[in-house]
Amino acid sequence: MIAVSQSAENSFTVAIDGPAAAGKGTIGRAVAAHFGFAHLDTGLLYRAVGRRVLAGEEAVAAARALEPSDMAEPEALRTAAIAGAASEVAVIPEVRAALVEFQRAFARRAGGAVLDGRDIGTVICPEAEVKLFVTASAEVRAERRCRELQAAGHATDLATVLDEVRARDARDAGRSTAPMRAAEDAVLLDTSEMSVEAAVAAAIGVVSAAREGGRGR
């Protein structure tokens, strides 16, 4: 009880959800840096479970055994194979349940937190002070992800990445536990025709407005 009220004091949660490669991570990192908040890319948790499963572990046991060292090298988790495995383990309710407590504690830490994922505004932090749903057309998202993967040295092409992104979105939106969807009170940010700078500025504007509005409560 005491630990909860201590960490809830001075907490401020920004929940960012949206489909694959929408720019949630870039926006989340920039918002966190701007306001001095901590940032958690929750996709890394599912990717780390996915990597353990690809290595032969059972999914629920892998989620329960997750340690900080699993996420120590995020770049190693950003492959198409691990992304696919992540979205397959993410449909399993017990996998999701094993990751809830860590995410909620992170969200309520003192000093503010930004979490990005698929179910942050709907399931993990329905009480978040700010909720953003960041999206873009599948074609634009696939182009961005294709460039990122190629820059990281992965051999791939646009048609393959577009197929992967669409398959993952369908699985993430169609699962019965914590499906990807915008919370009713989320602000929608379609970045299809926006530069990174414009998208970040828009997100910072939404957070600033909420902080102003919340003063004196």
Contact flag: residue 43 with ligand CDP (CB under 6 A): yes
Name the burial class of residue 107, with classes exposed (0-12), middle (13-18) and buried (19+) by CB atoms within 10 angstroms of its CB. Answer: buried
What is the per-residue binding string for ligand CDP in 118-157, x denoting contact by CB under 6 A? xxx-------------------------------------
Contact flag: residue 117 with ligand CDP (CB under 6 A): yes
Nearest to 19 by CA among 111, 108, 119, 101: 119
Stretch that binds ligand CDP, among 26-34, 65-73, 117-125, 151-159 (CB under 6 A): 117-125
Contact flag: residue 187 with ligand CDP (CB under 6 A): no
The annotation status of 22 as a binding-site residue, yes or no, is yes
At a CB cut-off of 8 Å and minimum separation 6, what does 167 contact?
84
Contact flag: residue 20 with ligand CDP (CB under 6 A): yes
Size of the site for ligand CDP (CB under 6 A): 18
Cβ proximity to ligand CDP: between 51 and 118 the closer is 118
* Sheet with strand 38-41: strands edge to edge: 38-41, 113-117, 13-17, 130-135, 187-190
CB of 168 to ligand CDP, least distance (A): 5
What b/e readout covers 176-197, taking b as 16+ CB neighbours within 10 angstroms? eebebebbeebbebebeebeee
Rounded CA-CA distance 136/116 in Å is 16
Q: Which residue shows structure tokens 């599948």?
A: 138
The annotation status of 84 as a binding-site residue, yes or no, is no
Contact residue for ligand CDP among 13, 79, 87, 135 (CB under 6 A): 87
Q: Which residues contact ligand CDP by CB under 6 A?
A: 20-21, 24-25, 42-43, 46-47, 83, 86-87, 90, 117-120, 168, 172
Point out the annotated binding site for ATP: 18-26
